[in-house]
Amino acid sequence: MFYSLEQLLEKMKQGSVTLGWGAVAVYSRRQLNRLLEQQYLQRLAENNFLPPFSDILKRKAVGQT
C-alpha cells in the first residue's frame, strides 16, 4: 500500500512509525542500487570495501507486528 503525503503525515501524528529506527528513508530500487554501486566503486578504488551481497527482504503490511 502506498500513502499520499497527506496520509503519511497524518499517520505520523499518531506516534512513532519508525519501528525503533531513528528515521525512515524511501528510495526506488534503481536509486538505491545506484547509490550502493557508487559507494562500492569508491571504496573499491580505495581498497576499502565489503564484498557484494544479495538478499530478498519481505515487506510487512503497515500495522503488522
Where are the domains positioned within the chain? 23-51
Grid coordinates given for 12: 505520523
Note the pLDDT of residue 49: 67
Question: Could you tell me which of 24, 28, 11 has the C-alpha nearest to residue 63?
Answer: 11
Q: Is the dihedral of CA 17, 19, 20, 22 positive or negative?
A: negative
Q: What is the mean pLDDT of each run of 10 residues along the chain (65 residues)?
A: 84 82 83 92 82 78 68
Residue 65's pLDDT is 59
Q: Provide the sign of the torsion angle of the four alpha carbons 21, 23, 32, 57, taken in this order.
A: positive
Q: Global pTM?
A: 0.40
User: What local confidence, expressed as pLDDT, does residue 50 receive?
Assistant: 67
- Amino acid 53 reads F
Here the cell at position 24 is: 525512515
